């Protein structure tokens, strides 16, 4: 089954795999990636409607340019909630450089690690809040 079958996907809250390819899911608005997923590289490229992403503590490695963006039409009105304890590295992609995305509604991180995220390259360009302040809304 090809990716073309998922372009109308609007939300997903359960999966049993270790990577999450939602590349070009232009209608995807919200996603809560389940524990166990370890890779999200290129996962949300061209997901133009995406406004909420929740990432599990099991995510490892790096986040590359296309993980959250790669499309200028992607809305800036996004919220990111992460459960991993240290900022994942960001990789550069040629002319585009390093990119975390713009999360105007904030990035929520584990309370004990908020200073690490606020100081980390690229992450620090966003508003970082303690996870305890997240009200659970998407």
How much is the average pLDDT of 97-112?
76
Q: Does a structural domain hold residue 76?
A: yes
Phi, psi dihedrals of residue 118, rounded to the nearest 5°: -65, -25
Q: Does a structural domain hold residue 49?
A: yes
How much is the average pLDDT of 48-77?
75
Task: Please give the structure tokens belonging to residue 18.
Answer: 């270790």
Residue 63's DSSP bridge partners are 90
| Model confidence band, residue 1 (pLDDT cutoffs 50, 70, 90) | very low
**pLDDT of 58 above 60:** yes
**pLDDT of 7 above 80:** no
**pLDDT of 64 above 50:** yes
Q: Would you say the pTM of this structure is higher than 0.85?
A: no
Query: Across 4-8, 33-37, 100-104, which has the greatest mean pLDDT?
Result: 33-37
**pLDDT of 57 above 50:** yes
Domain that holds residue 15: 1-131
Share of the chain above pLDDT 90, in %: 22
| Model confidence band, residue 71 (pLDDT cutoffs 50, 70, 90) | low
Of residues 118 and 122, which shows the higher confidence score? 118
How many domains is the chain partitioned into structurally? 1
CA 105 to chain centre: 13
Q: Does a structural domain hold residue 31?
A: yes
Q: Which range is least confidently modeled, 28-37, 73-82, 88-97?
A: 88-97
Q: Does a structural domain hold residue 138?
A: no
CATH assignment of the domain containing 13: 3.80.10.10
Task: Please give the structure tokens belonging to residue 77.
Answer: 């009105």
Q: Does a structural domain hold residue 47?
A: yes
């Amino acid at each position: 089954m090809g990716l073309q079958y998922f372009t109308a996907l609007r939300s997903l809250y359960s999966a049993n795999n270790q990577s999450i390819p939602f590349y070009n899911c232009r209608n995807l608005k919200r996603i809560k990636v389940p524990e166990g997923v370890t890779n999200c590289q290129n996962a949300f490229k061209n997901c133009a409607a995406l406004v909420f992403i929740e990432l599990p503590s099991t995510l490892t490695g790096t986040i590359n340019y296309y993980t959250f963006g790669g499309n200028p039409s992607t809305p800036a009105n996004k919220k990111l909630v992460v459960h991993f304890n240290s900022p994942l590295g960001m990789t550069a992609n040629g002319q585009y450089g390093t990119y975390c995305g713009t999360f105007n509604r904030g990035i929520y991180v584990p309370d004990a690690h908020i200073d690490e995220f606020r100081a980390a390259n690229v992450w620090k360009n966003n508003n970082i809040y303690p996870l305890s302040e997240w009200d659970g809304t998407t």
